[in-house]
């Protein structure tokens, strides 16, 4: 069996595996051989039965986990920006997020809390988790992810302020024993009124901490 037929064989991904990727069947053939090399280099035999389809699965999984590169902010927000009279704080909290750290390609996961003070315009509420997803499904560091979400909202609707807080646990810290297993990293990005006005910022922080404190 030469390496070409091997690759073709490995590319036959079952429908069940395919459906796990959500992104549908996208070309991953160029990723398969490098994953085989990785498996060899860590001391595995990529030809043993259990690993036979692993390179194709890894390739598909990476395609999905990095699917944010192929999402477009204009498409996500299209038709979801509305003019309103509402000028109180809008908060979407506990948005689950899963991302990959750009230093180790290991997952980090947690929750994002997003708030803004509208100035005549709002974003459809369901679009905010999608926005988080678009940036999370890329290679990230938590600080940049936080800031990209905040600045994107700022640019889209020019509110009086935006606040984003992310709490996440990083496998590259947990699995390598760099930090205690249960520690999480918290990052925040505060723009406009959330940066300049203590009362606004405190209101946001109080609202996102409410559940944690049982209040």
Active site residues: 101-104, 142, 170, 172
As measured in angstroms, the least distance from the Cβ of 171 to Zn ion is 8
Cα separation values, 81 from 53, 74, 84, 102, Å: 44, 11, 10, 32
Q: Which is closer to Zn ion, CB of 11 or CB of 172?
A: 172
- For 184, the 3-state DSSP assignment is coil
Give backbone dihedrals phi and psi of 210, rounded to 5 degrees, phi first: -55, -50
As measured in angstroms, the least distance from the Cβ of 104 to Zn ion is 4
Q: Tell me: does residue 172 bind Zn ion (CB under 5 A).
A: yes
Q: Which is closer to Zn ion, CB of 105 or CB of 206?
A: 105
As measured in angstroms, the least distance from the Cβ of 21 to Zn ion is 24
Binding residue for Zn ion (CB under 5 A) from 25, 48, 103, 211?
103
Half-sphere exposure of 84 (CA within 13 A, CB side): 16
Maximum Cα–Cα distance across the chain = 69
- For 131, the 3-state DSSP assignment is helix
By beta-carbon distance, which residue lies closest to Zn ion?
Answer: 172
**What is the full DSSP assignment across 62-78?**
HHHHTGGGG--HHHHHT
Q: Which is closer to Zn ion, CB of 145 or CB of 156?
A: 145
Q: Tell me: does residue 101 bind Zn ion (CB under 5 A).
A: yes
As measured in angstroms, the least distance from the Cβ of 62 to Zn ion is 16
Q: Which is closer to Zn ion, CB of 89 or CB of 101?
A: 101
Q: Would you state the structure tokens that stand for residue 83, as one six-digit string?
A: 């003019």
User: Of 13-21, 24-32, 159-167, 171-179, which segment contacts Zn ion by CB under 5 A?
Assistant: 171-179
Q: Tell me: does residue 211 bind Zn ion (CB under 5 A).
A: no
Percent helix, strand and coil across the chain, each to the nearest 5: 45, 25, 30
Q: Tell me: does residue 104 bind Zn ion (CB under 5 A).
A: yes
Q: Which is closer to Zn ion, CB of 6 or CB of 144?
A: 144
Angle ∠(164,107,56) on CA atoms, nearest 5? 135
As measured in angstroms, the least distance from the Cβ of 186 to Zn ion is 16
Using CB under 5 A, list all residues that contact Zn ion. 101, 103-104, 172
């Amino acid at each position: 069996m030469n390496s070409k037929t091997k690759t073709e064989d490995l590319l036959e991904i079952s429908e069940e595996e395919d459906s796990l990727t959500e992104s549908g069947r996208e070309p991953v053939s160029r990723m398969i051989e490098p994953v085989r090399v990785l498996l060899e280099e860590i001391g595995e035999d990529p030809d043993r039965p259990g690993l036979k389809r692993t390179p194709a699965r890894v390739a598909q999984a990476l395609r999905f986990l990095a699917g944010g590169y192929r999402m477009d902010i204009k498409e996500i927000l299209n038709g979801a920006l509305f003019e309103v009279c509402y000028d109180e704080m809008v908060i979407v909290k506990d948005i689950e997020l899963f991302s990959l750290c750009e230093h180790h390609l290991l997952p980090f996961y947690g929750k994002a809390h997003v708030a803004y003070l509208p100035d005549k315009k709002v974003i459809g509420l369901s679009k905010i988790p999608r926005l988080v997803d678009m940036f999370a499904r890329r290679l990230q560091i938590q600080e940049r992810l936080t800031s990209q979400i905040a600045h994107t909202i700022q640019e889209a609707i020019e509110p009086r302020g935006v606040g984003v807080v992310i709490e996440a646990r990083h496998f590259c810290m947990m699995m390598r024993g760099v930090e205690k297993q249960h520690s999480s990293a918290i990052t925040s990005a505060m723009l406009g009124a959330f940066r300049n006005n203590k009362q606004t910022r405190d209101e946001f922080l109080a609202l996102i901490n409410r559940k944690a404190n049982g209040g």
